[in-house]
Chains A and B, each alone.
Chain A
């Protein structure tokens, strides 16, 4: 099937189904609409969700997590531990040591990294980590860090390819991402099936952007607001969020985007800074905390599932948080102007490091060090809650509430900062995913103002729905879609990794010979 055929057949189909969904929304009451959508979704997509998140037989280890971790390990070995070898060079690139001053005014490596990071830093770093350590015990932290370090190699691979095979248009704009390396990269190497992979990837990316990158975010932001201000209808939050997203992505309102992009890094720094202060305040506990982390990683310490449970939780959290191998970062990084695609790969490998190895670890350490997880004073083993689903916590909380409790035990006011941080992170994640979804959309249907606005309007509608309803199956499906992106993307990465190796060797030898030099 050619691209034109896809455009003709699918655009009306999508439009019809959206209209149908809207008609249903008008005719049915709000609560029954939830139920209807839930039932329809659960029935039609349940098999897909269970396929993506199914466990290896006899374990509670989802194969998709293994798929991501194995890929990260393969890339780490294939590129000779590039994430450690190139780490200092990556920092130098971000600092601008290798940027030509005459290119000032173009997007810098720092800006590309910051933009991509604002799409991944979010609820996973705050709520997800709390889930990991409360279920898997402190040992989960160890495996999370390991998975984060390995994931750096996946990001390196996908972002290099994203830049190398992007489309550049006459007006100076660019479009890139897995769709483009699947089609152009496969064609260049004489491989078949690139088009099919690209179309699949684009479909999953659109679904993932509407769900995990949008509905889930506005849903959780509302939960956080309701937590602070007391319960109120979700559609109010939804309407405000949808309005603001509309203003930014359709109205082109730069001021809101600008404020967000300034507040998000500030929140990130404030979050890590506060975590560091809390850790230093409890410096006498640091040894104990690391003891718990290492003991829990390899031995039975009373947490759910022992060392294996810790491994599963840690790997899962890292994979869900830094999106290494999913392909989203390849879209974000591909717009950067650089003569050497590999430099963008070097810069992007810092992302899982900052997201997982630094921020996620901070959250975990604060929870552990402030003693939120209850141990048996006699044996030192963890005590499980009554249901046996997680380690008992001081006030019985889990998720965001556990992180909030851990930070508030040191600084009571931090719960408000955390609430604002969650909302800002959710918002910036939505803006990033609206872009990823749009790129997949234009890949399928072609570029054009009307087509782009159709997607953006659909995106805003889903922002509103996400906050207004508790659509479990819909959100499960969109999470599954994000990981389905990884299934398709990693197949392409395996097939195209020799291209990256060639680029890497060429660049590193020129760096060594002094052909590539720092600008004074």
Chain B
């Protein structure tokens, strides 16, 4: 079994840099690259009755959009050069779900970008990169 490198990808500039970096690393050690995108979702948020009714429809649309507008172009743009690329699309808390994806894939490494600026919200609640650095099940590389 080849090693796997999981990269968190959300379409931002830093995520693009992280993807590029992860692809280089994967080629270097001949690993499989897993491009993961997490749609922020809490099972404890509150919805109106209409939102409850339309949820399944919206979820299908959201998954389709993420696949078509985000993951597919990212993979297509990648200079694969014989690299095996998989994609994963999940709902959940971003940091927790990325950890879960890393565990499920028995990842050798987790690569993520980070937001260049530190805003008030991430100071208060912690950033994804900061959280992952503390709780990830494997070595984490944070790409600026």
Interface residues of A (CB under 8 A from B): 96, 99, 101, 104-108, 110-112, 114-115, 118-119, 171-175, 248-249, 254, 257-258, 261-262, 264-265, 331-332, 335-337, 431-432, 435-436
Contact = CB atoms under 8 A, between A and B. Distances in A.
B46 to A, nearest CB: 3
Contacts of B92: 101, 104
Central interface residue in B43, B45, B92, by most chain A CB within 10 Å: B43
Nearest to B92: A104
A-B pairs, 9 with minimum CB distance = A105-B91, A261-B46, A108-B43, A435-B49, A172-B57, A104-B91, A335-B53, A172-B56, A107-B55
8 contacts: A107-B52, A107-B56, A112-B52, A114-B47, A172-B57, A175-B53, A331-B49, A431-B49
B60 A110 contact: no
Contact of A107 (B39, B47, B60, B63): B47
A111 B63 CA distance: 20
Contacts of A99: 43
Contacts of A336: 52
A174 B54 CA distance: 8
A332 B49 contact: yes
Contact of B53 (A101, A173, A254, A262): A173
Nearest to A262: B46
Contacts of B54: 172-173
A105 B46 contact: no
B90 interface: yes
B105 to A, nearest CB: 15
B59 A174 contact: no
B53 A174 contact: yes
A115 B52 contact: yes
B50 A106 contact: no
B52 A335 contact: yes
A175 B50 CA distance: 11
Interface residues of B, number: 25
Interface in B98-135: 100
Contacts of B52: 107, 111-112, 115, 332, 335-336
Nearest to B93: A104
B46 A111 contact: yes
Tell me what chain A mostly uses at the interface: helix, strand, loop, or mixed: helix
Given A261-B46, A265-B46, 4 more contacts: A105-B41, A115-B47, A174-B53, A337-B55
A115 B55 CA distance: 13
A435 B45 contact: no
A114 B46 contact: yes
A171 B49 contact: no
Contacts of B63: 105
B47 A111 contact: yes
Nearest to B41: A105
Nearest to A333: B52
A265 B46 CA distance: 9
B62 interface: yes
Contacts of A257: 48, 51
Contact of B57 (A101, A108, A171): A171
B37 to A, nearest CB: 12
B59 A105 contact: yes
Nearest to A175: B53
Contacts of A264: 46
B62 A105 contact: yes
Contacts of B57: 171-173
B40 to A, nearest CB: 10
B48 A115 contact: yes
B43 A337 contact: no
Central interface residue in B51, B52, B59, by most chain A CB within 10 Å: B52
A108 B49 contact: no
Nearest to A103: B91
B95 to A, nearest CB: 15
A248 B55 contact: no
Contacts of B90: 104
Contact of A104 (B43, B47, B50): B43
A13 to B, nearest CB: 27
Contacts of A436: 49
Nearest to A116: B49
Contacts of A262: 46
Contact of A337 (B51, B56, B100): B56
Given A106-B59, A173-B54, A173-B57, A96 B47 contact: no
